[in-house]
Chains A and B, each alone.
Chain A
């Protein structure tokens, strides 16, 4: 086994190239946390410029095929790219991350026509357009398949009606929606939906920003379609196969490289903060209870890091695939959030809640973590993750299915 990455001189040269380029697009000064999670329109447009510049080099979707606007880069090059973005973030500086929604691209790659791949996928991978995934509805959260939005065919258009909530992540509307709607009200569950790439500038679309206590991915919106006439060539896959399209995952795992970049590095920052900050005339970290809290968080930081490496090794075929591991990592980060939030309150008291620009701790990241520790539902609640993980373990609906249990590591 080897837990370290070793890069050739050619790859290190690529790293220098990436670093040089990022220096030309990243902000120079650290950006307070609140500002980087809820972007102002000004920063948002700046981000879109960065996105286009990345796209020109194929670095906005580095692992995707070049013929559709991706970078066609191999694992090592992608990893270096992501490492360099992480380095900028580490410095508290802001740069737009090359995160292409795998949900959008997977549906298109698996079910889109060649024409759709050219017209819809390519600009997306080049960073020229932005789309919002519009799945969740007021009465369809975890039970997504019960959604009510409709898309009734009328010749060469579909007439879209319905409301989506908790969608988007930008201060202004996007270029299109990736929208799920009922195409056949009489058909059974999972066989009644269509998946659409709806242009966001069609008449009949209404936007309402949501006023939330927190969002880890930016400004959320409510979007309503009122008799919106969407061209039929924006339907992805067959008319009643939208569920399958929405559940598509890429044959080749994308973003495997991302899992090799440790998350939750905030824990390391808070440990350093406690070593330097005095309380009752001694460093916070001298208190034995605080020490133990910090070491427990430190352990969880390493759990995330090690499982990320494990998942990476799994996508590379180094170790046998276990069906539950992807969800396990996701579940871990969701369960860690409230543990971290509580620890911050235990260690720092009400200072952990301060947003005052002069008094906030670690550029506001402490308050951000405490605020967001109750926001664990995005991308699927922890309970939904548990259901999926149970299936991966061969329980519940997965019972009787063979769980891959070869010799571990072999």
Chain B
């Protein structure tokens, strides 16, 4: 047993921290958050130049073939700095789906472009009847004249406002709720009949509603086998979820650090508020939440990287996300308890973190979704 990071992981961590400190102060994140599209082409380019978009992608497609634990080192730092989610959507979520299920031709076309940042993809699974299970996928894709024709609505899709292509989970089979009959399609965001709009929300990511009105998708855009899309999603969703958890670890760590610092320096009643036991109690609970989030996530990454049996991978990832969602939300809430007024003021970064925590709470499955999955795996 050895829980230490390798020397190269430590170096990676330090260089990521330095880079983000230089290039991505919270005022920059605030600017992006307030921009029309929640996107900064300049930051995108700089991150791509660091090679972070290609780290985990296969070497034969321009990637570096790093482990998930390596990638998580970067994502924890990204979470500390609160980088926007488009990096995750495109390189992690879509990159992993393509790497595991796409045809050689699709991989050769897309993965190098995703890895160097030339192509940006987003993943559309959820619908107005929100949820992350197969039963929540009902957007209909009928196969006619060599093409898929899509009818329906995707909702709460992050990053669709800026991407060129979407990976859509659609229903090609007859059954509307089973794992069978789901397919993955690559859809050009400019396709005729596809309408998209941002949903106004108090959210750390842009939610988009995508309305599909007889949108035609060529058969060659099918990723993996028809009707077998849910099976194909399993592994990449597990992997991406673990990476998202490491981002949330970074968020929790930052919330704890900023709250400790505030409690040490903010003086009321003639003393630092950190001297008050109620305040201490809130911060202790932040540290508890952080440490839960950190170690469930670390074990999940290790089990994925060491190819443990599938049921073990499913369980540990769901445990991690159930814990991480609660932890990030709670760290944000407790941060607000300690900061009071300044915490809701936009000239101070706390609100960006708590808003992100609320957004990621449900993303890729909320705690109840994941606890139910664990219950099934335990045979309850």
Contacts and interface: CB of A to CB of B under 8 A. Distances in A.
A307 interface: yes
B283 A393 contact: yes
Interface in A351-410: 386-387, 389-390, 393-396, 399-400, 403, 405, 407-410
Given A302-B296, A393-B260, A386 B281 contact: yes
Contact of B264 (A296, A395, A410): A395
Interface in A85-99: none
B323 A299 contact: yes
Interface size grouping (class) on chain B: 35 or more
Contacts of A405: 257
Contact of A260 (B1, B13, B274, B372): B1
Interface stretch (B191-199, B225-233, B297-305): B297-305
Contacts, number: 149
B280 A396 contact: yes
A400 B264 contact: yes
B4 A319 contact: yes
Given A271-B380, A396-B274, A310 B3 contact: yes
B42 interface: no
B37 to A, nearest CB: 33
Interface string B180-212: 000000000000000000000000000000000
Interface string A286-313: 1000011011101100110011011011
A83 interface: no
B74 to A, nearest CB: 13
Interface string B218-260: 0000000000000000000000000000000000010001001
Contact of A291 (B17, B264, B299, B375): B375
B34 interface: no
A405 B254 CA distance: 12
Given A1-B5, A409-B4, A299 B319 contact: yes
A409 B5 contact: yes
Is the contact region of chain A dominated by helix, strand, or loop, or is it mixed?
helix
Interface in A269-290: 271, 274-275, 285-286
A122 to B, nearest CB: 32
Given A399-B274, A407-B17, A408-B253, A307 B1 contact: no
A407 B10 contact: yes
Contacts of B279: 395
B3 A395 contact: no
Given A292-B368, A393-B287, A407-B10, A399 B264 contact: yes
B139 interface: no
Interface in B1-56: 1-5, 9-10, 13-14, 17
21 contacts: A1-B2, A1-B3, A2-B1, A2-B2, A3-B1, A3-B299, A3-B303, A4-B1, A271-B380, A295-B322, A295-B374, A306-B296, A318-B3, A324-B284, A387-B280, A393-B284, A394-B274, A396-B277, A399-B264, A407-B14, A409-B4
Interface of B: 1-5, 9-10, 13-14, 17, 69, 253, 257, 260, 263-264, 272, 274-275, 277, 279-281, 283-284, 287-288, 291-292, 294-296, 298-299, 301-303, 306, 319, 322-323, 368, 371-372, 374-375, 378-380
Given A306-B296, A389-B287, A403-B260, 9 more contacts: A5-B1, A332-B288, A386-B277, A390-B277, A394-B260, A395-B263, A407-B17, A410-B9, A410-B10
